[in-house]
Structure 1
Amino acid sequence: MRIMGLDFGSKTIGVAMSDALFWTAQGVKTIRRSKKELDELRELIREYEVMEIVIGYPKNMNGTLGPRCTLTEEFAEVLRAEFGLEVKLWDERLSTVAAQRTLIEADVSRSKRKHVIDKMAAVFILQGYLDSRQNKNS
């Protein structure tokens, strides 16, 4: 059983997966937004035996909810209805910034960063959620 983390963007969906012990998040892939995105997510849910989904919730820096939050909430509802799994929204402020910084520090070229940034942001989102779970259980 695993927890899936998603960075839900307008063009792509970054996907990360927890390890079996729910300690670490690993990037899995970036899915292009299309009519087949649910099919790709369904396959990953089956393959990794996903029990829960965490989606980055794009609050504004001051904590208010913007238009992207509404789209994310609607997508979460679609996932709940489609897969029958618990879907949680997780504050993703600065996850893309942190992912970008990590890739720059790793000396990943700008063109390569463009292809993995959403997957890396999903890792940061999911890792934050996993760390929060660990802290609650401690």
Structure 2
Amino acid sequence: METSFLKKILRVLLGAFMTLAGIGHLTFQRGEFQAQVPKWLPQAPNFIDFVVLSSGVVEISLGLALIFLVKHQIKVGLTLSLFFIAIFPGNVSQYMNGITAFGLDTDDKRLVRLFFQPVLILWALWSTEALAYLKARIKKT
């Protein structure tokens, strides 16, 4: 499926953001990501660190896949959108528990952040042609 120049640029940009975020999980932002692990998960430090490190590896993998696996961009877009849905409870937990991380130091800032998750999901779907793919599948049924 042929994509527009804008979609290509935004797909690569999202891939770069994901790769950087994943590197942050493993290094310079590890503590902030640990603070976001939902409180309803086991709070053992080793488990929390595992969640952060493994999600960082997933983010790096998805980021690089967005950039380089162009032939599989629809699958990557669908997978990334599901990943964004899967990590959303961490954002909700940050809001519900008043956790300060990533400069989100007020309830208002944490609440506003929640509304960016659907934007990321749509960005992943639109820039990879996964949204057009899903629309076409729905139309066939």
| TM bracket, shorter-chain basis | under 0.3
Structure-2-length-normalised TM-score: 0.26
Q: TM-score, normalising length from structure 1?
A: 0.26
More helix by share: 2
